[in-house]
Structure 1
Amino acid sequence: MTVSDRYRTSWEGFWEQDSGEQGEPFWDADPALTARRDLAYLTPYADPSLPVADLGCGNGTQTRFLATRFTPAVGVDLSAAAIAHARRADPSGAATYEQLNLADPVQTGALCERLGDTNVYMRAVLHQSDPEDRPAVAATVARLVGARGRALILEPTGQAKAVIAAVAAQPGGPSPKLRRVKENDLRPGEVAEGEVASLLRASGLTVLGEGATALAMSEMRPDGSRVELPARWFVAGRP
């Protein structure tokens, strides 16, 4: 299975225009507000001796933090430009980075065989995946997790669209960060209530824990408050 040409072109175009600097993309908040906080959901379930795979790693901001908690750490992204940014930002090689299509079982199969049972971190990837690709992405998560790994999946809820719309409607119009999202046709998708759990279960995983959370963005409002998107977290694995 391959992702659509529109989807691939949109993401490649976005990352080609990006400098690779942390915080430039709308969602690229500091790990202290993202991965570090998110690991509180995963840690009670995960074996820290296993590797970690950051799926949809972008420029590697979260991957580099995850590499301080798990060894080895690998960041995976569809975009070659994103992977190039991630490698440049990690000259010491704390993590490794690979370009591959999460919906392609051939590409992901090689990664799974090499890593073995793996912990997975996937932040706001499913809602940006085309709906027809989501079962294949969930199947990749399940294959990476294997018998002993655990997956932490974080996805914005339907209310996130209203938050983004309100940010875009602020005086002066959408910020440069939001304009870049629109210009590259990165359409904010929506994962229906219950869809994430259903996808995980259909892939053979058990939802071990879930709850409400918020995804911190790098965007700040004029009053200095940070934009955060309502979200849910899920930890999944095999009992």
Structure 2
Amino acid sequence: MRSTLQKYLLIPRLIGLSRSAPKDRPLAWDTYWAGIRGRGAGSGILWDSGTDNEFLGYRDVLLRYLDRELPVVDVGCGHGRFTRALAGVFPQAIGVDISGHAVAHAGAHSSSRGSHGAAGSIRYAARDMTVPGAARELAGQGDANVFIRGVLHVLDEADRAALVENVRLLAGSRGTVFLAETNFQGNPVEYVSLLGATTQSIPAPLEMAIRGLPMPGHFGPQERALAFPAEAWELLEDGDVAIETHPLTGVAGQSQVPGYFAVLRPQG
């Protein structure tokens, strides 16, 4: 009872912090990325654990379903951690993000390590994938695989539908879509408490996200069924997954958020 009360004493602080978040989605994300300094666990990026452990957990599923002869588009690539990992599997990895500052971070990081992963080349583009036609020529004239991590749970229903239409155009007849999203079922207070927020302190990367970005929702089987309806998409595999975040507290498991993954292919 006492611990529950302590959590809810966070509400006034959270309201105060979130008031400064821009209401315009592209502006919010670009402003957030403009304020990021450093990389990996040394940066302020809330959803970057600083390791490839989460990607390695997806790798077998990617190899099982995605055509390795096709390029892969990383939608919502941010600073490019997953784009660079994908370039170790596919001939070309294309990271796309709504924020030009995010793409600049990604490009700088890739340049410092060379423009190629273990297998393929890497490039980035700043593009809002909820805009009709945004997928046009992103992966050339052919089909592409699509990787989405942590994007759909921050979009409203209309923007999800617009993004999915662009994803369908990217995938074409040969491409496959892999998505991984947070699916935490509690309320916002319980969510930030899971990540280490207390009435005494809020870890800096978490506070930065609360100040600058809209509060996320969740994305699980029900949301997937609405966004990727069965008459248009074939569900190949889905299940639970742990989304790894910045290690904020040093408490085992506190940097992992319950998540959901799915592998889908356009019908017809």
Match of 1:106 among 133, 140, 155: 133
Aligned to 1:48: 68
CA contact (8 A) 2:235 2:264 kept: yes
Structure-to-structure mapping, 1:22-41, within 5 angstroms: 22-23=40-41, 24=43, 25-41=45-61
How far, CA to CA, are the matches of 2:170 and 2:231 in structure 1? 11
Moved more, 31-40 or 117-126: 31-40
Match of 2:146 among 96, 109, 120: 120
Moved more, 114-123 or 169-178: 169-178
Match of 1:140 among 161, 166, 176: 166
Calculate the TM-score normalised by the size of structure 1: 0.89
- Pairwise CA distance, 1:137: 0.8
Q: Secondary structure at the match of 2:84?
A: helix
How far, CA to CA, are the matches of 1:46 and 1:86 in structure 2? 24
Aligned to 2:228: 200
Q: Secondary structure at the match of 2:173?
A: coil
How far, CA to CA, are the matches of 2:130 and 2:265 in structure 1? 19
Q: Secondary structure at the match of 2:91?
A: coil
Moved more, 74-83 or 186-195: 186-195
Q: Using a 3 Å threshold, how does the CA distance of structure 1 residues 152 and 190 change in structure 2: closer, same or farther? A: same
Q: Secondary structure at the match of 1:88?
A: helix
**1:86-124 CA-partner distances (Å, limit 9, x unpaired):** 100011222100000111122222315x15211111001
How far, CA to CA, are the matches of 2:239 and 2:252 in structure 1? 27
- Pairwise CA distance, 1:22: 2.2
**1:31-87 CA-partner distances (Å, limit 9, x unpaired):** 522222222222211111111111000001110111011011100000000000110
Structure 2: segments with no counterpart, 5+ residues: 1-21, 117-121
Q: Secondary structure at the match of 1:18?
A: coil
Calculate the TM-score normalised by the size of structure 2: 0.80
How far, CA to CA, are the matches of 2:23 and 2:138 in structure 1? 23
Aligned to 1:16: 34
Q: Secondary structure at the match of 2:124?
A: strand
How far, CA to CA, are the matches of 1:224 and 1:192 in structure 2? 24
RMSD: 2.2
Structure 1: segments with no counterpart, 5+ residues: none
How far, CA to CA, are the matches of 1:230 and 1:216 in structure 2? 9
Moved more, 18-27 or 72-81: 18-27
Q: Using a 3 Å threshold, how does the CA distance of structure 1 residues 96 and 185 change in structure 2: closer, same or farther? A: same
Aligned to 2:263: 235
Q: Using a 3 Å threshold, how does the CA distance of structure 1 residues 6 and 31 change in structure 2: closer, same or farther? A: same
How far, CA to CA, are the matches of 2:241 and 2:164 in structure 1? 21
How far, CA to CA, are the matches of 2:208 and 2:231 in structure 1? 34
Q: Using a 3 Å threshold, how does the CA distance of structure 1 residues 115 and 123 change in structure 2: closer, same or farther? A: farther
Aligned to 2:216: 188
Tell me, yes or no, if structure 1 residue 152 matches structure 2 residue 172.
no
How far, CA to CA, are the matches of 2:126 and 2:203 in structure 1? 29
Aligned to 2:156: 130
Count of aligned pairs between the two proteins: 235
- Pairwise CA distance, 1:150: 0.8
How far, CA to CA, are the matches of 2:34 and 2:258 in structure 1? 29
Q: Secondary structure at the match of 1:82?
A: helix
- Pairwise CA distance, 1:20: 4.7
Aligned to 2:99: 79
Please tell me the residue identity of whatever aligns with 1:103: T
Match of 2:115 among 90, 93, 97: 93
